[in-house]
Amino acid sequence: MRAMRTWDIFCNVVDNYGDIGIAWRLARGLAREHGLAVRLWVNDLRTFQRIWPAISPDADQQVCEGVAVCAWHTPFAPTRPAQVVVEAFGCALPEPYLLAMSEQSPPPVWINLEYLSAEPWVAEHHGLPSPHPRLPLTKYFFFPGYTPGTGGLLAEADVAGRRTAFVHDGMPAFWRELGLDTPQADELRVSLFAYENPALPGLLDVWAADPHPVTCLVPEGRVIPQLAAWLAVPGLRAGDTGRRGALQLHVLPFMNQDWYDRLLWACDLNFVRGEDSCVRAQWAARPLVWQAYPQADNAHWDKVNALLTHYTAGLDRTTADAVNGLWQRWNGMPIAHGMPACWAAWRSRQAAIERHAQAWCGRLGLVGTLIDKLVEFAENKLK
């Protein structure tokens, strides 16, 4: 029998939850689905604990979900490198570890996991090698993406089955556990995970004026001060609520990754941000609106438009315009229509957008998952 392959994943949390969110999802997927011996090195266990409360922030080493989670300290203690080394988002491996890698024979397969983008250049760059300037090591760039020539999207093999089971049986209990009523027949239930956004008050205004009830569920985080300002209250915490017109707001506690998935599966529309929540909202097979991580000179607008191009391909013109308008307005792009017109257009095409979200999720399933593709890539290099 072949010995278990060893993998090291390095994650440097800079800000937000995306880097550790992705590294953790990848680590547990590799261990669970491929039986690999995975170590996950993380510099900030407190942020990790927010998305996975079982993590102890003070433990140098702990095993969680079959993954050896290790605190990444500087200076880095001598460590025997794994056979496959994943550097998440160019986080720069510790120098002593890099030296130890160069002394291995054969050297480990070294992969830089890149950020996700739907831009067309991704497929050309996926898998390219880059020799180290000094050491006898080669780093490979692995690009997630939406097309077969890329590294695919991060997902567990059983995500669709778990979602279907939850949608059939799990929703009433889920709402009860969150302390919420089951939605009324004509209600729109929305989740909102976002960065500070000048478009937010306008969105809340149109929801308040909607002819049907709108319930907005907001996990604690960066938009809370804006929500409080809109409600004209001094602050908001998990458990707090607010109402204006048709809009009922609920602030939820920040939940673990698996619970957050359920929230996405249960809502009619999900506002998501960054990378991982955007991908999860697509696997949720529900309509979504994506806020890209804001970059200097609005470089993120290209990313939003690239995903929109993929996402709306094949949709009729009116439905595509409705999706484009709401996403672009939410990302602050200079478009002709204001929020009331964008929302009205989205509402008028809601049924078609819902059908599309299901079909889109099915299409994503055909690209192959990042976990499988990463393992295949590494195994080919190890041969």
Closer residue to ligand TRH in complex, CB, 10/17 = 17
Neighbours of 349 (CB within 10 A): 21
Q: Is residue 19 flagged as an active site residue?
A: yes
Which residue has its beta carbon closest to ligand TRH?
18
Residues whose CB falls within 8 Å of the CB of residue 44, separated by 6 or more in sequence, listed in order: 13, 20
Of 8, 19, 44, 114, the catalytic one is 19
CB of 25 to ligand TRH, least distance (A): 7
CB of 20 to ligand TRH, least distance (A): 8
Integer Cα distance of 257 and 259 in angstroms: 6
Neighbours of 309 (CB within 10 A): 14
Closer residue to ligand TRH in complex, CB, 81/219 = 219
DSSP assignment string, 220-272? SSTTHHHHHHHHT-S---TT-EEEETTEEEEEEPP--HHHHHHHHHHSSEEEE
CB of 259 to ligand TRH, least distance (A): 7
Binding site for ligand TRH (CB under 6 A): 14-19, 21, 51, 115, 193, 219, 254-257, 260, 273-277, 293
Of 8, 119, 240, 275, the catalytic one is 275
- Token pair, residue 373, equals 């593709």
How far are the Cα atoms of 141, 287, 354 from residue 293, in angstroms, in the given order?
A: 21, 19, 25
- Token pair, residue 52, equals 């996975």
CB of 134 to ligand TRH, least distance (A): 29
With contact defined as beta carbons under 8 Å apart, do 291 and 198 qualify?
no
How far are the Cα atoms of 20, 160, 274 from residue 303, in angstroms, in the given order?
A: 21, 26, 11
CB of 63 to ligand TRH, least distance (A): 20
Which residues are known catalytic residues?
A: 19, 275
